[in-house]
A and B are shown apart, each in its own frame.
Chain A
Amino acid sequence: MLFDKTNKIYIPIKYWENSIGRDKHCDIIVNSPMASRNHAVLFRREAGWFISDTNSKGGVFVNNKLIDSQEKLYVGDVITIGEMDFKLCKVKKSSKGKRFGRHLSLAACFPGVLMALITIFNTLATFLLCLSGENFNFAPMTNSLLITGLSWIYYFVARYGLRRTNFELEGLGIFLSGIGITICSSVNLQFAYTQVIAFGLGLLLFNFIVFFIKNPDFAMKCRPYIAYLAVILLLLNLVFGKVKNGSQNWILIGNFSIQPSEIVKVAFVFFGASTLKEIQTTRNLTGFIIFSCVCMGALFLMGDFGTACIFFVAFLVVAFVRSGSIRTLFLTVAAAGAGVGLILKFKPYIMERFAAWRHVWEHSADIGFQQTRVLSYSASGGLFGMGIGKGCLKYIFAAPSDLAFGMLCEEWGLILGYTVIITIALIGLYGGLIGVRSRCAFYSLASCGASGIMVFQMIMNVFGSVDLLPLTGVTLPFVSLGGSSLLGMWGLLAFIKSADERTYGLKK
């Protein structure tokens, strides 16, 4: 809490990072003509409170000493901004209940119960799949048992090893991945095995990222290396990539094929977020723009327009949340529009791929083949579905990846199909909301970027398959078949997890 010596009032500190300045959007508003619009940032790290000067005109004084860029604060220190003096003091006992983090003690829905429910759901769903054929087939159950086992191991490690209190995000991730693996099992058990492996790797990646960005200052130092790695991955993809389903976004390693662009998404969000150190201190925006252009350019060359779109939207989200400049936003969109226009002018055949859009029934034998089947079979399922494993859509090309929503609606019913996509939308919304309360602006931004990608990718996948948007062949987050995609999504989920202030704070 700060004591405003001039006006003799107490100012509560609400966030982990607080902007100080004359601007009305600042968390602590200094009504002084000598203060800059964005003057300084008061923030908390593990070592204690710090204040950082964000290129203010007048400078920041701590105990009447002009600070360099950043200074550690102790209780009783006096901060001078403009002609105003603030004293850092402890929260009075009477107002204890109101200080930030008060809601930490609220137990989020009991993690154990959540896990048990998810396990029951996934087991039942797999059991129905086992029953769907002429005879009982136990094989899909092995996949289900594998992911259930992995999930519970992770659960115990997280609860009792890492002593985490919150488990909602992982719970939802496991729920969605479980549904995805059951869908894959119904099409081809081989697909499901790779998906299970990707799920295991995804959990590892998730925890690695959560651990890696625990100290944001250290993570930011790694920023350039991660960018290089991402660019190298994409270049390798361009050189050695195999053309599969119309786009050259696959690298074959032995029997495995991976899609580097899915992993680069994680790096992209990390890089975008790390350009903002503390709120108001922006740096290296140029770097981010160049990196974005390289990524999107590479994707365009590969012919993966869907993923390019997703990167673009992620760029918009991160750039806007970071700068708040609507002008930049419009300029970016206009520049991108012009760019796409130019590309279409010189390569008009690209448009042919999307010619069936909103006319799929006239092309039900060729380019509208998949969409018409999705519509017909989704409607056939009704609210409760034809029964798991009893669908027809699974025989259609790329069904478990591109048409996963259709398979859900057909076999599991519209209610479950909607539940899954609304869940993903709500994870995205949660990722944004939680960002406001996160421990550091880097987490907020990363969480927004990751949420933006998840929701937008889901929009592209779901609405592409039902012909509201052109079909681009991106995956449905967590659910679709695609090891790289599942891995990438768990990576992105880690950013949302990190934005939750409980992740690094509260220990059980």
Chain B
Amino acid sequence: MRSIKVRLIMLYLIVLLFFLGLGFFSYELIIKSEKWVFSSVNRHLSQGRVSQGEILDRFGEVLACTRNGKRTYHEDINIRKALVHTVGDGSVLIPTSVQSRYAKELFGYSPIAGLGAPEIINMNKSITLSLDSKLCSKVSSSFKDKKGTALAYNYLNGEIICMVSLPNYDVENKPSFKIQTDDKLEGIYLNRALSSSYTPGSVFKLFTCAAALDSMEDVEAKKFFCSKIKIVDGEKVSCMKKHGNINLKDALSKSCDIVFCDIALELGKEKMIQKMEEMGFNSSISFENSKLSQSEYRLEEASQGDLGWSGIGQYKNTLNPMHMLRFMGAIANNGVCIEPHTVKSINLEGDEDTGEKLEVKTTLMLKPSTAQKIREMMRYTMKNQYGDKMFSPALMCAKTGTAEVGEGKLPHGWMVGFSYDASFPVAFVVVVENGDFGIKSAGPIASNMIKHLYSSFKNGKYF
């Protein structure tokens, strides 16, 4: 039997193999467990049964919390609907929501307790947003049944106060499968502010204008001529009106297409692309811990006519609303964009004071002189074209846009702008899909939003 004793080494080798394997697996588990847990395949993250920390708005309104093993949301259906894209519905369908992007923080995962930590531990965790939930709800309902997005933020500290995307839905009563066929619900899971890029139309002229101010000598004094119709290489570019002799300031204010077509042609493809890329086009822009949908400015296959159209914001250009908001912030703040964010603080300990204040990032988007010039031009546009009554008593700078989308549909309406008054440091972007003229569709929504924000600011609510 002694010989068998020796030959048992075969069996020991198998057992040894097992323990080696187990050791290797344990090593992998320690190194990679977090990656594994927070992968998209994990349904624990989306079932709502696992407890998560709370999500609060800037005034401490509880937007989402886990109670008795169930994820519950704000009691007001309108607030729930307005914030569904920001807060998330617990599923993986809205990857840009706070519940998806800050899953690691909210779930309180640890390799010891896994995701199974008792509710009481996670109850103390919270993420405070900079949003004003009541304002969001109000702005959201002012869209009626139009699709689109509205954004407002403090351009001095980067806090987003309003962010809504339409269409939305009630998280307590999720839409059924008919969303695939129902045109009204198209893109319902999309936060249009972050994950869409629209044809910009005339608001793009602000970028063209910035490019001109940077690259063309004495462009402000230059006299342009608008004869309503211009033929570029056999392609027709037309303006709303015959403006005749016109300077840049009036061209922006009156939104003269011929002038911006001329600027694009004069700068040429290469220069235009270079300037647009400097201002954030054709690259993915970070937003908190995710990326924005890319704004595109591509001219690879463009003819001269297309180049002209691109300066007006038509052709194949697209613009992401949050990108536009950053640009507004940069113009308002001497060319420096204080990066917008929705998360004000992350509180993992349950103690208010230790809540982690997030670092605010800044990006230089424009030369300070260029920013100041555009700011004045936009103020001039506001005063002379739209009238200060629109946002009264706030003094605003603004630009509208009407983006033709073809296919027999109404154009997208844009209105973008910011406050001229640094004691009310708000920049905004409103897009209404197929809403017709910007001033008609986006204007009233922007007006409502700014008036509400102005009174809140002046009452000291936002400090």
Contacts and interface: CB of A to CB of B under 8 A. Distances in A.
Interface of A: 14-19, 23, 25-27, 279, 313, 316-317, 320-322, 324, 361, 364, 372-373, 375-387, 390, 392, 395, 413-414, 418, 421-422, 425, 428-429, 431-433, 435-437, 441, 444-445, 448, 451-452, 455-456, 458-459, 462-463, 466, 468
Interface string B1-23: 11111111011101101110110
Contacts of B14: 313, 317, 428, 452, 455-456, 459
A425 B17 CA distance: 10
B236 interface: no
B6 A425 contact: no
Interface stretch (B107-115, B138-146, B268-276): B107-115
B21 A459 contact: yes
22 contacts: A15-B2, A17-B1, A18-B1, A25-B3, A320-B7, A320-B10, A321-B7, A324-B7, A376-B42, A377-B42, A380-B37, A380-B109, A382-B111, A382-B114, A383-B111, A383-B114, A425-B18, A428-B11, A429-B15, A445-B4, A456-B14, A463-B21
Contacts of A395: 43
A258 B112 CA distance: 40
Contacts of B40: 364
B114 A324 contact: no
A316 B47 CA distance: 48
Interface bracket on B: 35 or more
Contact of B8 (A361, A432, A463, A468): A432
B3 A425 contact: no
B41 A376 contact: yes
B393 interface: no
B33 interface: yes
B113 to A, nearest CB: 5
B216 interface: no
Given A27-B1, A372-B41, A436-B1, A384 B114 contact: yes
Given A375-B36, A382-B111, A425-B19, A25 B6 contact: yes
Main secondary structure of the interface of B (DSSP, over half): helix
A324 B6 contact: yes
Given A372-B39, A444-B1, A444-B4, 14 more contacts: A18-B1, A279-B4, A379-B32, A380-B116, A381-B114, A381-B115, A383-B113, A384-B114, A428-B11, A429-B11, A432-B12, A437-B1, A448-B8, A456-B14
Contact of A390 (B12, B41, B49, B109): B49
Contacts of B29: 378-379, 414
B11 A432 contact: yes
B371 to A, nearest CB: 45
A468 to B, nearest CB: 6
Which among B44, B47, B112 has the highest number of chain A CB atoms within 10 Å?
A: B44
B103 to A, nearest CB: 12
A317 B5 CA distance: 13
A-B residue pairs, 5 tightest by C-beta = A382-B114, A379-B33, A432-B11, A15-B1, A25-B3
A431 B10 CA distance: 13
A435 B2 CA distance: 11
Interface string B225-248: 000000000000000000000000
Contact of A384 (B22, B33, B113): B113
A505 to B, nearest CB: 16
Contacts of A390: 49
Interface in B153-178: none
B37 A376 contact: yes
B59 interface: no
Contacts of A422: 22
Interface in B102-130: 109-117
B2 A26 contact: yes
B3 A385 contact: no
Contacts of B47: 392
A387 B8 contact: no
Contacts of A441: 1, 4
B25 interface: yes
Nearest to A19: B3
A445 B1 CA distance: 11
B24 interface: yes
Given A324-B7, A435-B4, A452-B11, A383 B17 contact: no
Nearest to B1: A15
A276 to B, nearest CB: 10
A433 B8 contact: yes
B3 A279 contact: yes
Interface in B35-56: 36-37, 39-44, 47, 49-50
B11 A381 contact: no
A451 B11 contact: yes
A384 B116 contact: yes
Given A382-B110, A387-B116, A392-B43, A468 B7 contact: no
Contacts of B37: 376, 379-380
